Chains A and B, each alone.
Chain A
């Protein structure tokens, strides 16, 4: 395929993915908006007003970056995992596998399509947060970079999950038993300085901690982790997961007989 044909194939996949999640916006865009609004009301206003400051900011300002990041992570992941697995389940993925579209175009198309949902939900949640509080923007560059890298990382992870999944149960196991605990324990609601040395050490093995804190640094300028190390680590992880996902797609494991 020529580069222009590849571009057509790529934009077709992205449009298809965007059309899918906007068609079912009641299932994809509305629930995170309602959930996050409840978080802002309960943790930000009701409980947050009694907690006082954290990291030098009002508690609601402190949790906003974590909640935005949580929405981006879960929506980036769940979009690709459900979309790709549904395509596998209905066998409509064969439309793509039979076509001349190269594997990396398929992978990028699905990932960018899912990132669009993650980022759209992130924007919606940010707008909601502005209704409850205002917050500074310490560094646009770091904020945008960490959002894109995190969203990309979790779309790739979701893609790999979908390739290996055999049933709809298999696509809910990782979000329920891995993603949710990592996110809740990843410094969304607290600074790890509040933990004992032992649990601070344990928390440093949680990759979500680095994403949440780097994003918080981008917005508020405070962080529990080294920002450069977090960004470099994230880039390495994105490259590694992209290579794994592409290998799975090209080798046809779990996709071709």
Chain B
């Protein structure tokens, strides 16, 4: 099957000799929901920039649904929709004009463009704002406008560069639902994000990029299986004079009603509850201390640091 996105040995050196990408190779299959994770400056936005041709690559190959971006520029671009990190539409244009123009840039005749524009104005709850200049929109509406703009020509591959940065929880959740919906309808989605909960919740596959290299490329589930231990936070019904004693498990008291228990992979939680019940400790709630993917991400990025690599050797 032709990959939705195939990147081979991609290098990028900026004019100031800053090496942003050091031979990235990556394949994203059609229909996938793929996360590209990495710390700031890791090379995520440069990679996206090269794919959508806003950044000139130094060497390497990029193809979108089998169309090489160097050999068939127009063909490759037709498959692609991009939602950049920063607002990049004319602040003075009306919302519907921005979408109509975008459809025109992809060669959609006005009648067909109008149907598409109306469809995405409604789907992204921008219909009431269609006649307003873009600068009058709230931050969340501007984000939705950028998503509508990226989708108006029905791309097969949608790339979103931190689409939910700075949006409130309610809007973030509704955007997640929308993205799940269009992915289910067949659109391949690549997402960069700093919210690892977002990647864990939405994506099936993930690549972690650091210092211009892919340090991990796998399924989200198999990545989570690499997690050796998790910390659970327990809330007790009554105040505790001291942390509960749990055989073989490290326990840390956070406050008089709250304590943390570190549990290794394969260990059962039933034993924990049995021991707590034996000590007359009634638990009213329990949760993961941190996002699981976040823990793995931090561990991997730390392990990739030169000083830690040397120490490991």
A: which residues have CB within 8 A of B? 1-2, 4-6, 8-9, 11-13, 15-16, 19, 23, 86-87, 90-92, 94-102, 252, 256-257
Closest beta carbon of chain A to B260's beta carbon, Å: 45
Name 10 A/B residue pairs within 8 A (Cβ), A-sorted.
A4-B107, A8-B109, A8-B110, A9-B106, A86-B90, A90-B88, A91-B88, A96-B105, A98-B77, A99-B106
Task: Given A91-B86, A95-B89, A100-B74, verify A11-B104 contact (CB < 8 Å).
Answer: yes
Closest beta carbon of chain B to A54's beta carbon, Å: 44
| Interchain CA distance A90-B90 in the complex, whole Å | 6
Is A94's CB under 8 angstroms from B84's CB? yes
Is A94's CB under 8 angstroms from B101's CB? no
> For chains A and B in complex, what number of residue pairs have CB atoms within 8 angstroms?
86
Is A257's CB under 8 angstroms from B14's CB? yes
Q: Which of A5, A12, A256 has the most CB of B within 10 A?
A: A12
Which residue of B46, B75, B88, B91 is within 8 Å of A95 (Cβ)? Answer: B88
Chain B residues within an 8 Å CB radius of A8: 104, 107-110
Q: Which residue of chain B lies nearest to A91 when distances are taken between CB atoms in the complex?
A: B88
Chain A residues within an 8 Å CB radius of B78: 1, 100
Which residue of A2, A19, A98, A102 is within 8 Å of B53 (Cβ)? Answer: A98
Query: Which B residues between 86 and 123 are near A, CB-CB below 8 angstroms?
Result: 86, 88-92, 97, 100-102, 104-110
Is A95's CB under 8 angstroms from B101's CB? yes
Is B149 part of the binding interface, using a Cβ–Cβ cutoff of 8 Å? yes
Q: Which residue of chain A lies nearest to B55 when distances are taken between CB atoms in the complex?
A: A257
Is B80 part of the binding interface, using a Cβ–Cβ cutoff of 8 Å? yes
Which residue of B105, B109, B110 is within 8 Å of A99 (Cβ)? Answer: B105
Q: Which residue of chain B lies nearest to A6 when distances are taken between CB atoms in the complex?
A: B107
Closest beta carbon of chain A to B32's beta carbon, Å: 21
CB-CB nearest 7 A-B residue pairs: A5-B107, A12-B104, A100-B77, A100-B74, A99-B105, A91-B88, A92-B90
Is A95's CB under 8 angstroms from B86's CB? no
Is A97's CB under 8 angstroms from B54's CB? yes
Closest beta carbon of chain A to B75's beta carbon, Å: 8
Q: Mark B256-281, 1 if CB is under 8 A from A, else 0.
A: 00000000000000000000000000
Chain A residues within an 8 Å CB radius of B75: 100
B: which residues have CB within 8 A of A? 14, 46, 49, 52-56, 73-75, 77-78, 80, 82, 84, 86, 88-92, 97, 100-102, 104-110, 149
Q: Is the interface of A mostly helix, strand, loop or mixed?
A: helix
Task: Given A1-B74, A8-B108, verify A19-B88 contact (CB < 8 Å).
Answer: no
| Interchain CA distance A94-B92 in the complex, whole Å | 16
Q: Which residue of chain B lies nearest to A5 when distances are taken between CB atoms in the complex?
A: B107
| Interchain CA distance A194-B106 in the complex, whole Å | 55
Is B91's CB under 8 angstroms from A256's CB? no
| Interchain CA distance A87-B105 in the complex, whole Å | 15
| Interchain CA distance A12-B100 in the complex, whole Å | 8
Task: Given A90-B91, A98-B53, verify A16-B101 contact (CB < 8 Å).
Answer: yes
| Interchain CA distance A216-B98 in the complex, whole Å | 42
Is B54's CB under 8 angstroms from A94's CB? yes
Q: Which residue of chain A lies nearest to B51 when distances are taken between CB atoms in the complex?
A: A98
| Interchain CA distance A19-B53 in the complex, whole Å | 28
Q: Which residue of chain B lies nearest to A93 when distances are taken between CB atoms in the complex?
A: B88
| Interchain CA distance A2-B109 in the complex, whole Å | 12
Chain A residues within an 8 Å CB radius of B102: 95, 99
Task: Given A98-B77, A100-B106, verify A92-B88 contact (CB < 8 Å).
Answer: yes
Closest beta carbon of chain B to A15's beta carbon, Å: 8
| Interchain CA distance A9-B104 in the complex, whole Å | 5
Task: Given A100-B77, A256-B55, verify A95-B49 contact (CB < 8 Å).
Answer: no
| Interchain CA distance A97-B88 in the complex, whole Å | 12
Chain A residues within an 8 Å CB radius of B84: 94
Which residue of A91, A95, A102, A256 is within 8 Å of B56 (Cβ)? Answer: A256
Chain A residues within an 8 Å CB radius of B55: 256-257
